[in-house]
Every structure is written in C-alpha cells, then in structure tokens.
Structure 1
C-alpha cells in the first residue's frame, strides 16, 4: 500500500514537472509572469522551468515582422491631396518595455502606425506633388530613411521597446474626386508633347523639301545652260555647213532663200501686188 502511494506521488511530481517545463525556440521570447507581473524574459533557446501554479508563460516574436500601415490622406507642399499607403518592417527589441508601455503586440503596432502617419504627413507635406510621384524627380528614398529615423526616435523616447527597421511607400494615389482632373492634365500634356513632335516633323519635312527643290533647280539650271551651249554650238556648226554649201552655188542659194520666203509670206488668202520687173513676178511668170 505504501509502495503504491509512493509511486503515485512520484507520478504526480513528474507530471507537475512536465507541465511546468517550457521550450524557448529560435525567433521568440518567453515572458514569465508571476501574479500578472513580468518576472523573467527568456530569449536563449533551450528548456526552461517555471514555478507551478503561481507563474505563467506567454510568447512574443523575436524575428522581424511586417505591418501594413492603414491608408492615409495627406496634403503636399503645393496644396494637393493624395492618399499614401505604407508598410513597415519592425521587431521587438526590449520585450519588458514593450509589455510595460504597450502591453500587447497589437497595441504596439497601433502606436507605431500613429507615429508613422504623423511623420509621413510632416515629411511629405514639405514636398511638391510631382516630387513624390515622379520617379525622376523624386527623393522618396531619402524620405523613407528620414521617416524611419524619426519614428524610431519617437518610439525610443516613449520607451515602447520596439524598433522600426524600415518604412516604405508601396502606393500613392489621388483621392477619387481629384483623379479626373489629373487625368485630363496628363492627357493635355501628352497632346501638347505630341503636337511638339508633329511640329518638329513638319519643320524637318519642309527643310528636306526646300533642300530638294533647291537641288532640282540647280540641276535644271545647269542642264538648261548646258543645252544652250550645245544648241549654240549646233547652230554655229549648221551655219558653217550652210555657208560652205551655199557658197559653192550662189544661184541655188538665191533660189532657196526665195522659196523659203514664199513659205512665210504666201498662203491661200494672200494677195500680192508686184512690179513686173520684180524677181517674185519673174519667177511666178515662169521667167528665168
């Protein structure tokens, strides 16, 4: 009987020990509370033991976490409204401070979101709208770093025991009521740019046409000048041949010139009055 009781007591003690042993894993904190107060925080991996009945254990993440910050509306330096959607990467650095001041992970995230919104609104309020949305003009990278730095200063000042590794903008949008006006402005800008390209094209076309016309005129002028020279040379050669030919028979030349003059002066309606001793009359009358 005594032996049975002894073994029963051993079993109860073993179960009690087993139920109060806990394991600390990589990437987590184990928070040990006694009557609701934090008495110990275990961060090194291994088997740990808590006092039965009076102590409890909860777990907090030790690894980096991502938090999707709620979308918020801000005003830019040039008085334009826009919607900003951020996310943050953060971790718990001091679980005891986090529990003491924020109590839970959810409340720590809520406080971090509040600080992020405050800093983002302040920092982007110093930039113009185009500087925020235009990648070529944007200083967004430096703004993200600045926001991260300022948020950590605020969290450290209030002893929240958490650290923000990074804050990034994942999306920037216009409020729905402003989208249409911006779209119209973008369309207008692109139409203006297209018109500029068309004007440049027309100017280049006119330049090419003018240059081509100039070259054509030069070619035609040169061809006409060459033709005049060739024609003059041909007429000179023809005159020389005529002179050589006609000088061999003066009577034939006179006859030829007379017949040529007939072609120019006589037609079907021509009336000619000639003296009887005229060479024309002599030829028409069959004289020699």
Structure 2
C-alpha cells in the first residue's frame, strides 16, 4: 500500500515537472529563456519547447507591429503660433535580447513609456523648426517621415524599430481659438471691404465712360444737326435769292403775306398803323377808272 502511494506521488511529481518544463511559443511571439536573469536562448520559431523548471525563466514578447498613441502635446513652431499635436506611432521589437536589457522586467509597458518620451522630443524638435502652416497643411508627409527617422535612431538602443509615425491632429489651443477666429473674421472683413472698394472704383469708371460717351454722342449729333440746319438755311436762302432775281415784285408780295401772317397770329391782334403805310399796299383795292 505504501509502495503504491509512493509510486503515485512520484508519478504526480513527474507529471508536474514535465508540465512545468514544457512551454509553447506562438507564431505571433518571440521568447527568451533566462538562467538566473541572463539570456541563454532566443526562441523565434513557433512550437513546443522545453526548460528546466525553477532554474529557467521564459519571457515572451509580442512579435507583431504594436501601436503607440501619444497624449496631446503642445508644440511651438518657428512662427510662435502654439499648436496641440496628437500623434501615433507603429513599432515592433527588433532585437529581443537588447530589448530585455534596455527595459528589464517592465516589458512592453516600459518600452511604450520610453518610446513616447522619444517621440514627444522629436515632435518638438522637428515641428519647432517649421512654420505652423507646414504643420497644418495636408502635405506634411515629409515632416512625419523626418520624425520617424529620428525617432528610429533614438530608439535603436531599446532594441525596437519605429515603423511609422503619423500626426492625427494639429489644432490651436482652446484659449487661442477665439482670438484666431476673431483675427480671421477681421481679415475676411478687410478683404470684403477691399473688394467693395474695387467694385465702387470700377463702377465709377464705367459711369465716367458712359457720361463721356453721352457727351461725345450728343456733341456729335448737335454738330451734325447744325451742319444740316446750316446747309438747309443756305439752300433756302439760295432758293429765295433765285426767286427774288426772277420776279422781285412777286417776292415782295410773298414777303408781305408772310408779314401779315406773323402779325395776325394772336386771337385778339390789334395793329395801329397809318392807312397810308406801305404795310397795306397789297391789301388796297385796285382803283376802277
């Protein structure tokens, strides 16, 4: 009986030891085997592996590309226009041995904290050397690539590789928005007033041109009318002169009739003229002998 219990105990201990000596490395992981804190093996291939219980420590790290979202950071570009920048990075563990030596037992969380400090420093350095317009424009890929390259160099000692850096958002601080909007509104009002002034100036030029055209057209019409009137008067006088030359007596008679007509235009015309006046020569009756 005791022998059986002993054998059962030995089997249980052996099974526990066997279970504790086996570990599995996933295809998404890299593992380090440590001997009293020192790295003795790097396991990069997925599968079943063995260790000495208690003596060997197995540390696993994610081998995929990891994300790091930084907290909003206030930066001051070259034109002293403060901006709040929100960025993110994509990174991976390139050298697990170097990574273990750099971050120790803090692992992924410790690496994220140190990488965020590196990224914030590079954001301040790169964005502080350009105007805010370059940061706010859609074409800021060159700036993001520059931040990525410098962060990659600074983080190489951690055994990690920075794959990509992107700026998600770049806005003005909340306390500056009202002043900025007011400045933008004033600028738009100034531009609108300039447009109105140019419109009034153009309208004035159009009116002046139209007035000049009216004066020129009226003057030309008046000149033509005077020329035509003068030519008509000359023609009329020529006709009168020709008629007078042919029959002076008839012309005198015609002139007298015209004088009568002009004198008797009114409704109550009264003429006080001597009966012997030449004015009545053509109104007198012929003497019958």
TM over 0.5: yes
- Could you tell me how far apart the structure 1 residues matched to 2:24 and 2:270 are? 143
Match of 2:252 in 1: 254
Name the residue aligned to 2:153: 153
SS at match of 1:181: helix
> What corresponds to 1:279 in structure 2?
278
SS of corresponding position for 2:78: coil
Q: Which residue of 2 aligns with 1:92?
A: 93
> Alpha carbon RMSD of aligned pairs, Å?
3.8
**How big is each residue's C-alpha offset from its partner over 1:166-207, in whole Å with a ceiling of 9 and x where there is no partner?**
322221122221111111011111222222223333333333
Alignment-derived partner of residue 109 in structure 1: 112
Structure 2 gaps, min length 5: 1-5
Q: Equivalences for 1:181-196 in 2 at 5 Å?
A: 181-196=179-194
User: How far apart in 1 are the matches of 2:286 and 2:18?
Assistant: 166
TM-score w.r.t. the length of structure 2 is: 0.76
Contact 1:33 1:55 (8 Å CA) reproduced: yes
Matching residue of 2:3: none
Moved more, 122-131 or 236-245: 236-245
Give distance in 1, aligned partners of 2:212 and 2:144. 61
Q: In structure 2, what is the Cα distance between the partners aligned to 1:21 and 1:196?
A: 81
Asked if 1 retains the 8 angstrom alpha-carbon contact of 2:253 and 2:282, the reply is no
Aligned with 2:158: secondary structure?
coil
CA distance in 1, matches of 2:273, 2:112: 132
Q: How many residues align?
A: 280
CA gap of 1:172–1:227, structure 2 versus 1, over 3 A, is same
Distance 2:84 2:233 in 1: 90
For 2:62 and 2:214, locate their aligned partners in 1 and report how far apart those are by CA, in whole Å: 84
Instruction: Quote the residue 1:206 is aligned against.
Output: 204
Alpha carbons 1:274, 1:281 under 8 Å: kept = no
CA distance in structure 1 between the partners assigned to 2:238 and 2:22 by the alignment? 136
What is the CA–CA distance in structure 2 between the aligned matches of 1:42 and 1:25, rounded to whole Å?
Answer: 10
Contact 1:72–1:83 (Cα < 8 Å) also in 2: yes
Contact kept, 8 Å, 1:84 with 1:172, in 2: the verdict is yes
TM-score, reference length from structure 1: 0.76
Alignment of 1:16-55 (within 5 A): 20-55=21-56
The 8 Å contact of residues 77 and 129 in structure 2, kept in 1 or not, is answered as yes
Deviation at 1:111, TM superposition (A): 0.5
CA contact 2:33–2:42 (8 Å) conserved in 1 = yes
